[in-house]
Structure 1
Amino acid sequence: MADNHRRGGLKFSTHVLETIAGIATLEVDGISAMSGGVVEGISERLGRKNLTKGVEVEAGEREVAVDLRVIVEYGRNVPRVYENVVQNVSDAIQQMTGLRVVEVVMYVEGVSFPEESRQTRQEAEQSEPRVR
């Protein structure tokens, strides 16, 4: 997959699209964290915050498909959380890039409990910029 994606003469790197999708996902109530696997977990322990953790995009000339790996809060209606994630990610990418999101696949890789969710969300809000 190429690292740059076009819209006319304007190009977006895969990293930019993944960052937009990751931030938009974390903004949704019911998502407590992104899940990125062992390598990304090691990076975070070394103090590097990765805004693309748990996000993979595939982009064409005008369209984007997004895969997300998430941890949801216990007790949440996951299909409803998924609908909100799809809407927020699609809106953010469309608004910022003009690209159309054709698919969002959300893999639920864990469940967090209320205390864990509050702490994780507070840490994310303190360290990550908001995209609107």
Structure 2
Amino acid sequence: MDGRDNKLIREEGTEIGSIKISDEVVAVIAGLAASEIPGVAGMSGTLAGIAEKLGMKSMAKGVKVEVGERETAIDLYIIVEYGVRIPDVASEVQQAVKKAVENMTGLTVVEVNVHVQGVHFPAEGKEEEIRVK
């Protein structure tokens, strides 16, 4: 990190001005890419859970980003569907997130860490989620 405002992750000058991308944008891109992978039941969040209870849905739920001027590291906290092979799902998440963030922001993704926080499975008429910490 370069010590600038934590919300501003990338600023690039052009001939006619500058382009600024916030860390929230990177987190949203990563969260959406991860949630599209089959076997991912959802994202596991901390503060985002509080926001959802207040009626605000956070697309960056379960995502933590650390960004420098040209590189980023991403941590994803996911819940997987029961019955999937977790290493395969995690690997697909890593690849999809890396590709989406690099293509959309121009940042180099140096690592994507996947933290499996729980298993989701349907149970007799209602859905249940088991978290392991």
Q: 1:6 aligns with which of 2, 5, 10?
A: 10
Residue 22 of structure 1 aligns with an amino acid whose one-letter code is G
Contact kept in structure 2, 1:20 and 1:92, CA below 8 Å: yes
Over aligned residue pairs, what C-alpha RMSD do you find? 1.7
Structure 1 residue ranges, 4+ long, deviating more than 4 angstroms after superposition:
none
More deviation, 39-48/66-75? 39-48
Q: Highest relative contact order (Cα 8 Å, sep 6+), 1 or 2? A: 1
Q: Does 1:101 align with 2:109?
A: yes
Rg comparison, structure with higher value? 2
Residue 46 of structure 1: how far off its partner (Å): 2.3
Partner residue, 2:131: none
Mark the runs of 5 or more structure 2 residues left unpaired by the alignment. Answer: 14-18, 129-133
Q: Could you say what secondary structure the match of 1:51 adopts? A: coil
Size of the alignment, in residue pairs? 116
Q: 2:59 aligns with which of 44, 51, 75?
A: 51
TM-score, scaled relative to structure 2: 0.80
Q: Does 1:15 align with 2:24?
A: yes
Residue 15 of structure 1: how far off its partner (Å): 0.5
Mark the runs of 5 or more structure 1 residues left unpaired by the alignment. Answer: 118-132
Partner residue, 2:39: 30
Q: Could you say what secondary structure the match of 1:66 adopts? A: strand
Report % sequence identity: 50
Residue 6 of structure 1 aligns with an amino acid whose one-letter code is R
**Which structure: greater helix fraction?**
1
Contact kept in structure 2, 1:62 and 1:99, CA below 8 Å: yes
